[in-house]
Amino acid sequence: MTAQVAKSERAIILAPLGRDSQIALMMLNEAGFTGIITRDLTSLCSELVLGAGLLLISSEALLGGDLEPLVGLIEQQPAWSDLPIVLMTHHGGPEQNPASRFSPQLGNVTFLERPFHRGA
């Protein structure tokens, strides 16, 4: 497998608070997927330019941040592409989460309610 193929299949994780990023990466690795943890939206966008198969973002990482670079990268996708984005939310789901308003801008968004745990 080439490095570019590997990067196009990896997950990029942005969950700056708590242990969500480490838990998510551990779960992905155990399932046989690769991923990278980023510290902010700027580094997420830098990694996205290099390639990704999935974005895993905590809802609080989007609040108060400049989403224009991320939205711009998503809009530059080829017409056939639809980068999946998993938005980790707190209890209550998208209807009670302020970050859910970003769903139309981000496109292919799935909401994952926290806390999430590794299966036994």
pLDDT tens-digit series, residues 67-84:
899 999 988 988 788 899
pLDDT tens-digit series, residues 7-31:
888 999 999 988 889 999 999 999 9
Packing angle, helices 68-75 and 41-50, rounded to 10 = 20
Q: How many whole angstroms separate alpha carbon 91 and alpha carbon 34?
A: 27
pLDDT tens-digit series, residues 91-109:
655 555 555 666 667 778 8
Q: Give the pLDDT score at 88.
A: 87
